[in-house]
Structure 1
Amino acid sequence: MENILVLNGHEYYEHSRGELNKTMFDATVKLLEPHYNVKTTVLKDGFNKKEEQEKMLWADAVIYQTPIYNYSVPAVFKKYLDQTHEHGVYFRGKTKEYGIGGGLLEGKKYMFSTTWNAPAEAFNDRNKFFEGRNVEDVLFHLHLIHKYTGMKGLKTFSCFDVKKNPDIDFYKKDLKDHLSRYFQV
């Protein structure tokens, strides 16, 4: 992989200003820039659909840095996905089996880097809030969006308990360790 797009999916709210998300976005870019051609998008600054589609076609990998709001991505990030994932650009129709074989982004990879208010202990335990589901299960709908395009997912990176018990140094070290599984950092 030579070309990587890093996208900051944060949407500003008074109760969620995006400081951690920006920190993780900046850390990702800083780790990758010495080794790769990196382009970035910051959704809160606005975006042009065609430019973003060109970036996606250019990229070998996409890393989405995003907070999780109400168990999904912020509205501006969902809008980005809805507008950029266009028939004839990222996928084509008329395949034998729905969603299989029509993706035009085959060979590309994507990764979600997420921040959660939920603690890690809320996952993977049938007696806890997520009823035994892991992060990938909760984000399954986002993985389907990319599967439809032919992209392959890398394991999601997550920071947990970010409002009650933030540990920025740990998150940054953990991010570096996670990225090193897939990229030169």
Structure 2
Amino acid sequence: MKRIVLILVPVFLGFQPAYTAFANQRQFEDLLIKIGYTSIDDALSAAELHFNKEIPLPYRLPPIAFTHHFGRFTDLDGDINDSLEVEFLDQHNSANHYKMDIRPLRNKIEFQGRENLTEYTLKNGKKAIYVVDRNFIFFVVENSDWQYMFGIDKRLSDKVTPEVFVEIADSIKLK
């Protein structure tokens, strides 16, 4: 009987970090759900139903690791701030945070006249704006009836270059 106990104690102790990580992961997920995040598909469906128009998402993602992905459709009073948010997060590395904010062009956010802007040209000939802010980098594209604002943590600028953003924007396929 003592042998069984001695064998099982190290086995259970070895699994403790996995259980702790799972508990932390569950808390992390519950927090995001509590503030309105759902699956990307559910958020996309809600936004498309609200706007009565298909919202094509890019097929490409930045070349960084993520543990979670969520979506949230924000429908505030009026239409000006209604948008679809898509978040990719890494629970273990706060720098690995990628966000897409998609809104109708009629309610787009203006970036012209700001400092730290660089313009890029996409395959379809449209222009995109690369904006460096204090802690974030944004890449803004207008495609069809939508404004796409892609954002990453500035600490990822060596991995997610403007060229990577161009590839992501070029992967938006309109039907």
Determine which structure has more spread, i.e. the larger CA radius of gyration.
Answer: 2
Of the two structures, which has the highest relative contact order with CA contacts closer than 8 Å and spacing of 6 or more?
1
Higher strand share: 2
TM range (shorter): under 0.3
TM-score (norm 1): 0.26
